[in-house]
Amino acid sequence: MLIFFFYNKSKLIYNFDQKMTNIESQKSVSLPPGETGLPFIGETLSFLFDPDFAKKKKSKYGQIYKTNIFGNDTVTMIGAEANQFLFRNENKYVVSTWPKSTRVLLGKLSLAVKDGNFHTSRRKLLAQAFQPRALNSYIPKMTEITQQYVEKWLQTKELTWYPELRKYTFDVACSLLISIDNASQTKLASDFETWCQGLFTLPINLPWTNFGKALKCRAKLLQEIETIIINRQQQPKHQNDALGILLEAKDEEGNSLTIEELKDQILLLLFAGHETLTSSLSSFVLLMAQHPNILEKVRTEQENLNITEDITSEKLKEMTYLEEVLKEVLRFIPPVGGGFRKVIEEFEFQGYRIPKDWTVQYQIAQTHKESDIFPDYQTFDPERFSPENMADKQKNFGYIPFGGGLRECLGKEFARLEMKIFASVLVHNCHWQLLPDQDLEMITIPSPRPRDGLKVKITEV
């Protein structure tokens, strides 16, 4: 009895000492350096409208710094090691999160805002729409739409390309995901554009704000998508598109997706198959216009392949130099600048304390400028991704145009497929050059695009 008392007393003292030691340890480990900006809005406006925000912060504070954006205390962590830590500690120290405006507009049932087992099971269902067999079935329609747009652009001769590319990617997404042709000419497109403009804004729900307008358009979009889903459910056989696959999909327990869930998932897929792809394609045509020697190598490869009939998956695999070019496009101007995580358990990284309930942002654009992985990173150089160099394989999570870990972009192969088909058809048929007196500075939110919309003159090969 006496031994038991002294044992527990010493254990109590030990635990108390341990807690005091932990408190003292936390005090000695400081928060990352940085500023939090103005009350309520923090540094949100600079984050949204200054394309060099991250570059300036990194230059002043280094690889890890604190700020306040979208109403949240936020730590930005830059580099392959930071990415690896965050991706491999998903659901342990961090979970995926988005700014409030994005969460609300994507919807509470959207895969993007879910985590844990629900996210895992739903991701498996949605992944069925992007399996190799499904992707191969998309090639003919993707090629057909691309050829139609190229013919139209050649007739136009001079155009502002970015808005046209938005129409193109929206038509491809709607055709292959929900079997709606020429969707860019419908009310669906204008509502979708307004909805996109509210995704990364301050969540102020007033009639004249981008967020308020986007909320109204979200309701209209969901109503239209619901009508499409109900009509398809009444058909005896589903069409060969992503919606058809998802209508047939069942989870491990044999349950199908509900209409409410399908609506949010389809809206997410339309966004993923449109916004970032438009950015990537505009970056490709811009960079090719600025690097005619590289474009000529791409053109030579296309001519040597002698594609006289429809593009096939076998022909696409032979476009090895084009593959290197597209990888460098995604490195040089990644369509997504970074991603967000919420801290669910306080942790320490590289000597700094990251508190619970803070937001962490990992940086894709700045990671792609790490000189130890990408020497002379400011130079556009597809050779980095040649079989001899393989820059994308040198360090885990050093090349992450589609994110990484449990949250890696579900539609990345769809995006790669569309980029390759677009580039092949365009290069095979067109010459293009930038028109003078335009502002090519990149607006970065929600995805990079030239300020003046990319004005070009386009002619037939």
Residue positions forming the annotated binding site for heme: 409
Tell me if residue 339 falls in helix, strand or coil: strand
Give dist(CA 323, CA 182) in Å, integer: 29
Give the CB-side neighbour count of residue 254, counting CA atoms within 13 A: 0
Q: Specify binding-site residues.
A: 409
The one-letter code for the residue type at 168 is Y
Give the CB-side neighbour count of residue 369, counting CA atoms within 13 A: 15
Region of residue 127 (left: phi > 0; alpha: psi -120 to 50; beta: else): alpha
Location of structure tokens 């053109």 = 299
Q: Which residues pair with 189 in a beta bridge?
A: none
Residue 92, number of CB atoms within 10 A of its CB = 10
Which residue, 319, 331, 335, 334, is CA-closest to 417? 319
Residues in the chain: 461
CA dihedral sign of residues 150, 152, 157, 161: negative
DSSP state of 42: B
Location of structure tokens 């597209």 = 326
User: Which residues lie closer than 8 Å to 188 by C-beta, 6 or more apart?
Assistant: 174, 180, 221, 224
Residue 308, number of CB atoms within 10 A of its CB = 5
What is the b/e burial string over 336-347, where b = at least 16 CB atoms within 10 angstroms of the residue's CB?
bbbbbbbbbeeb
Tokens standing for residue 77:
């962590």
Helix (H) / strand (E) containing 124: helix 116-127
